[in-house]
Chains A and B, each alone.
Chain A
């Protein structure tokens, strides 16, 4: 009698197996959804962090170049709402034995399509060129090409890289945009104000 009872309880019925499988599937799907969402959030945040990091590094490079530049030779005085997307400058290398300032070779920072390009000796045989980044947004965040100041910053249709000068202060604005695999885009805009010290 006891042996028969054991033989009867061995194994699962089909219904039990199906129910177990269904429950397992639900759990696995849930876990997969959570992992997927976490992975997407992680990717999005990582992309945003990396893009912001890149934007700040490029902004710092531009800022350090502008700080050392000769104010009188930088570019004409645009006042808001005007702006420029490129600057030509020379920076101080020090002074010679007579106390005269020694200026560097001419340099240029500007947009070339979606790239921020630095050039030394622009338009000369000895020209050197480096792209500091290549994901510049066509227009600054919040701005569209409609001859209006959409983002209320005093500028009209400003592009992803812009310089505005007021007295000795230069406001540098940079907006980067990188497309994501899901069709969306990650956008980071950074801005700083530097004082020209020469």
Chain B
């Protein structure tokens, strides 16, 4: 009994407020921790939201890139849709297409990643069709007279003289062609040398007379004839005709304008200063006159409509050595004969006219005409850089890029799923490369087993590209994709461009 009493006294003596104090301390620390957690949670949400917005932004850019790559090969530009988007990484994307006019489309790409969303837009302008890659080309029979020399060089690598000094084998870049037959003539006293390819038209051939030297290919595997784009003469302020006599040289300044005609009297000099777009009703160069194309500050585009008379003793001279800097476009059936010594660095384009390159004319560049007659003794040097330049000019150009929508709201939840929001299953979605809009295609190809060639007309989704060993031609919705012979690589890769 006494022991129990003693114990009770001991319990009472040991009673204290330590637990209460501990609880208070823990409570204070807990409140501080909660406050810190809330602050960092809100900052985290904002940072994560910014990161997700960036992810969505990059997804939208990826969509634009995929769409643009599709447009380059004749696709519509639509990739997926809001109800059936493409899956990419942790997010999804789709691209819509709006037609603005005949030459412009707008692609709008939307990317969604977690809590982020972004929509970007790009406007594409149709590329400019051209014939720069054709080299020396005639729509009708191409006639090459004896004593003609045709070779090539690449002005993006070096000048013609530098090519000669490096290795004559580098000069075998000539490219002559026709939609019909090509006749190449030579004589023992006037040998003809062509260092490069001579390509006849479909179902046509190269006729060699007198044992000319041709170092390149003379066959054509394509079934597609070349089509010349029409010349679109720009609208510029027009002035009256100008006749310039001998004496003080006439300087035509840079700009864009035109005249009813430009006549150079005998022994007169006229300099065209680039960058210049000049539209002339007619152009006449009398004996010993000189027309100088000064491309020091920019390119010169000369359009001639009614007549182009160049006296055999007149000179067409260029200051630069890049053929892409001078373009003479002859609109209409205007007979033209170039006989001046030159040298002339530039391109001559006459889709409806007959062009004669007479003895003594030296051209560095390219020439394409409805009918082309290369007379005895002409010297042509094809600038192979024109092919790459021409191909690039034919590609659709990006005119405008903009951010259509970039919401910056701070998300309330860190676990938002765009797939749930759209009601789609990521496992059932295609990747962007496989999500392009389906199109009608016409394919002519050679299967792995070999000839004969096969044709397919129908939706691209129903076509098995594994059945193609050699692609002869491809059209998407009526638009011809490059019809040159193209081999499908073992990994299925294929590079094409749209014409």
Contact = CB atoms under 8 A, between A and B. Distances in A.
B409 to A, nearest CB: 13
Contacts of A10: 13
A97 B402 CA distance: 17
B425 interface: no
Nearest to B125: A99
Nearest to A43: B36
A93 B40 contact: no
A39 B32 contact: yes
Interface in A84-118: 91-95, 97-99, 101
B15 interface: no
A44 interface: no
Contacts of A9: 13
Contacts of A97: 100-101
With most chain A CB atoms within 10 A of its CB, the pick from B9, B50, B403 is B403
B401 A197 contact: yes
A47 to B, nearest CB: 11
Interface in A38-96: 39, 42, 46, 49-50, 53, 56-57, 60, 64, 67-68, 91-95
Contact of A6 (B9, B399, B402): B9
Nearest to B61: A197
A67 B403 contact: yes
Nearest to A10: B13
A7 to B, nearest CB: 10
A159 B25 CA distance: 47
Given A2-B2, A46-B39, A46-B40, A68 B106 contact: no
Contacts of B47: 53, 56
Contacts of A31: 25
Contacts of B402: 68, 91-94
B401 A68 contact: yes
Nearest to A11: B13
B123 A94 contact: yes
A153 B51 CA distance: 27
Interface string B389-416: 0000000001111110010000000000
Contacts of B398: 197
B46 interface: yes
A180 interface: no
Given A31-B25, A68-B401, A94-B400, A53 B125 contact: no
Contact of B399 (A2, A50, A101): A101
A198 interface: yes
B9 A198 contact: no
Interface string B22-58: 0001000100100010011001001100100010000
A67 B401 CA distance: 9
B77 interface: no
B403 A68 contact: yes
Given A31-B25, A56-B50, A99-B101, A198 B40 contact: no
Contacts of A35: 29, 32
Given A53-B47, A97-B101, A92 B401 contact: yes
Contacts of A39: 32
A6 B43 CA distance: 62
Contacts of B6: 2, 6
20 contacts: A2-B2, A2-B6, A46-B39, A49-B40, A49-B43, A60-B54, A64-B406, A67-B403, A68-B402, A68-B403, A94-B121, A94-B123, A94-B402, A95-B104, A97-B100, A97-B101, A99-B104, A99-B125, A101-B400, A197-B401
Interface of B: 2, 6, 9, 13, 25, 29, 32, 36, 39-40, 43, 46-47, 50, 54, 100-101, 103-104, 106, 121, 123, 125, 398-403, 406
Interface of A: 2, 6, 9-10, 31, 35, 39, 42, 46, 49-50, 53, 56-57, 60, 64, 67-68, 91-95, 97-99, 101, 197-198
Given A67-B401, A68-B401, A95-B104, 5 more contacts: A10-B13, A53-B46, A57-B46, A94-B402, A198-B401
Rank and list the top 8 A-B pairs by shortest CB-CB distance, nearest first: A197-B401, A99-B104, A92-B400, A92-B402, A95-B123, A101-B400, A49-B43, A68-B402
